[in-house]
Amino acid sequence: MFRYKKHSFKYFIMNKAELIDKLSGDAGITKTQANAALDSFVDAVTRTLKKGDKVTLVGFGTFSVTKRAARNGRNPQTGAVIKIKAKKVARFKAGKELSSKI
């Protein structure tokens, strides 16, 4: 039986090996094939986001890139103000169907 690792008393975490295990069992393929498919998916999403485009999986969600503005932060040890540079971050917005199932 498939089980998630318990991370804390509130939620469970599935790692890559467990996801590959689940994919191979559900799809009836080998773990090597499931790993290759997952790696290909991650690579395709990464390349698309690097170009500044979006990846939309209808019913599941949308991967996109947003720009995070430069801002001031604080060093937690000293309390000194530090400048945090602007950067691009990956974003995922769950689709309607996924949201309704959760």
Which residue type is seen at 92? Answer: F
Total-model pTM: 0.73
- Same domain, yes or no, for 44 and 58? no
**Main-chain dihedrals φ then ψ at residue 26, nearest 5 degrees:** -70, -40
- Same domain, yes or no, for 84 and 45? no
- Same domain, yes or no, for 29 and 60? no
**Main-chain dihedrals φ then ψ at residue 84, nearest 5 degrees:** -105, 125
Instruction: With a cut of 50, say whether residue 1 has pLDDT above it.
Output: no
- Same domain, yes or no, for 2 and 47? yes
- Same domain, yes or no, for 64 and 79? yes
CB-based contacts of 80: which residues, under 8 Å, 6+ apart? 74
Instruction: With a cut of 50, say whether residue 83 has pLDDT above it.
Output: yes
Structural domain that includes position 42? 1-53
CATH number of the domain bearing residue 97 = 4.10.520.10
Instruction: With a cut of 70, say whether residue 2 has pLDDT above it.
Output: no
**14 by DSSP, 3-state: which?**
coil
Structure confidence at residue 58 (pLDDT): 94
- Same domain, yes or no, for 44 and 61? no
- Same domain, yes or no, for 37 and 72? no
- Please compute the mean of the pLDDT values over residues 7-22 and round it to a whole number: 80
Rounded-to-integer distance, Cα 99 and Cα 102, Å: 5
Instruction: With a cut of 50, say whether residue 34 has pLDDT above it.
Output: yes
